[in-house]
C-alpha cells in the first residue's frame, strides 16, 4: 500500500477520493442550508441533530481529516508538478484550447476556498459545535444559549450585504474548482474512456451549478430582501 503515498498515481488517487468525499459533503450541506428558507424551526432542528452528539462529532473528525488530506496532497502534487516543469514553467506559451482555465488554476482556487472556509468555520462551527463540546466537558466558552440557534447566526451574518457578496464570490471559486475537480477525480479513478469522460465533464458542470445555486439561495434572498428576521421566526 506504500505506492499510494510514494507514487504520483497513488497521491492523485488519494486526492481524488478525498475530493469526491468533499463533493458529497458540499451537496449535503447545500441541501441542509436551503431548509432555513423554508422553515426556521426545521433548520434549527437539523442543527440540534448535528450538534455535539457522538455521531456528529465522529462525522466532524472524518470530514476534517478529508479536508486536511485533500489540502496536503494538493500542495504535494502542485510542488511536484512545478519541480517537474522546472524553468519551463516561466516560459510564455500559447494558450491551449483543450485546457480549461479552472484546470490551470486549481491550486489558486483551492487557496481562495480554504481562506473563506476558515472564516466560515469561525462564524459557525466555532460558535456552535465547539461551544457545545466545551460546555459538555465543563469549560466556560462562548454563548451556549445560541449554540443551537443556527438561524440566529445566519441572520446576523447575511443581513450584512458585504458578507453576502464575499460569500457569492467564494461560491464562484467553488464552482470553477468543482467543474474541473469532479470529472478529473473520476478520470483518475478509471472513468477515462471516450464514452464516459464527456458525460462526466457535463455532469461536473451540472453538479457544480446545483451545489452553488443552493448555497447562493440564502445570500441572494437577503440581498433581494426576500427574507428577514420576522420571516425566519426571530
Write down the CATH number for the domain with range 14-85+100-223: 1.20.1300.10
* Domain spans, the chain: 14-85+100-223
Q: Which carries the bigger pLDDT value, residue 35 or residue 11?
A: 35
Residue 33 contacts by C-beta under 8 Å, 6 or more apart in sequence? 214, 215, 217, 218
Round the average pLDDT of the chain to a whole number and report it: 85
> Which of the residue ranges 64-68, 83-87, 146-150, 206-210 would you say has the lowest mean pLDDT?
83-87
Report residue 2's pLDDT band, with 50, 70 and 90 as the boundaries: low
| CA pair distance 206, 195, nearest whole angstrom | 18
| CA pair distance 67, 110, nearest whole angstrom | 11
Contact between 153 and 127 (Cβ < 8 Å): yes
- Check whether 232 has a pLDDT greater than 50: no
| CA pair distance 50, 150, nearest whole angstrom | 11
| CA pair distance 118, 47, nearest whole angstrom | 19
| CA pair distance 49, 46, nearest whole angstrom | 5
SS3 helix, strand, coil % of the chain, rounded to 5?
80, 0, 20
Residue 189 contacts by C-beta under 8 Å, 6 or more apart in sequence? 13, 16, 17
- Check whether 95 has a pLDDT greater than 80: no
Task: Please report how many Cα atoms fall inside a 13 Å half-sphere around the Cα of residue 75, on the Cβ side.
Answer: 7
Residue 209 contacts by C-beta under 8 Å, 6 or more apart in sequence? 175
Please give the pLDDT value at position 89: 46
Please give the pLDDT value at position 91: 45
| CA pair distance 52, 50, nearest whole angstrom | 7
pLDDT digits (tens, 9 = 90+) for 20-37: 999 999 999 999 999 998
Please give the pLDDT value at position 100: 75
Residue 40 contacts by C-beta under 8 Å, 6 or more apart in sequence? 151, 232, 233, 234
**Cβ of 20: how many Cβ atoms within 10 Å?**
18
Report residue 229's pLDDT band, with 50, 70 and 90 as the boundaries: very low
Please give the pLDDT value at position 218: 94
The CA-atom distances, in angstroms, between 27 and each of 70, 74, 115, 215 are 17, 21, 20, 9
- Check whether 50 has a pLDDT greater than 90: no
> Which of the residue ranges 82-91, 106-115, 119-128, 191-200 would you say has the lowest mean pLDDT?
82-91
**What sections of 35-53 are H helices per DSSP?**
40-49
- Check whether 148 has a pLDDT greater than 80: yes
| CA pair distance 38, 21, nearest whole angstrom | 27
Please give the pLDDT value at position 4: 60
Amino acid at each position: 500500500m506504500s505506492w499510494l503515498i510514494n507514487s504520483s498515481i497513488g497521491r492523485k488517487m488519494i486526492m481524488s477520493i478525498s475530493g469526491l468525499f468533499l463533493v458529497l459533503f458540499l451537496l449535503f450541506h447545500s441541501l441542509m442550508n436551503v431548509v432555513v428558507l423554508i422553515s426556521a424551526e426545521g433548520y434549527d432542528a437539523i442543527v440540534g441533530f448535528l450538534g455535539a452528539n457522538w455521531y456528529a462529532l465522529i462525522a466532524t473528525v472524518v470530514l476534517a481529516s478529508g479536508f486536511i488530506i485533500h489540502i496536503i496532497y494538493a500542495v504535494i502534487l502542485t510542488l511536484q508538478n512545478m519541480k517537474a516543469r522546472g524553468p519551463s514553467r516561466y516560459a510564455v506559451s500559447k494558450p491551449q484550447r483543450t485546457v480549461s482555465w479552472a484546470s490551470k488554476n486549481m491550486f489558486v482556487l483551492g487557496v481562495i476556498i480554504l481562506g473563506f472556509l476558515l472564516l466560515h468555520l469561525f462564524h459557525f462551527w466555532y460558535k456552535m459545535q465547539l461551544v457545545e463540546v466545551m460546555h459538555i466537558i465543563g469549560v466556560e466558552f462562548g454563548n451556549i444559549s445560541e449554540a443551537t440557534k443556527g438561524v440566529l447566526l445566519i441572520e446576523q451574518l447575511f443581513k450584512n450585504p458585504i458578507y453576502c457578496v464575499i460569500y457569492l464570490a467564494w461560491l464562484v471559486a467553488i464552482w470553477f474548482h468543482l467543474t474541473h475537480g469532479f470529472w478529473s477525480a473520476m478520470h483518475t479513478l478509471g472513468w477515462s474512456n471516450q464514452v464516459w469522460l464527456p458525460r462526466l465533464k457535463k455532469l461536473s458542470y451540472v453538479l457544480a451549478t446545483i451545489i452553488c445555486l443552493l448555497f447562493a439561495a440564502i445570500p441572494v434572498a437577503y440581498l433581494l430582501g426576500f427574507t428577514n428576521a420576522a420571516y425566519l421566526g426571530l
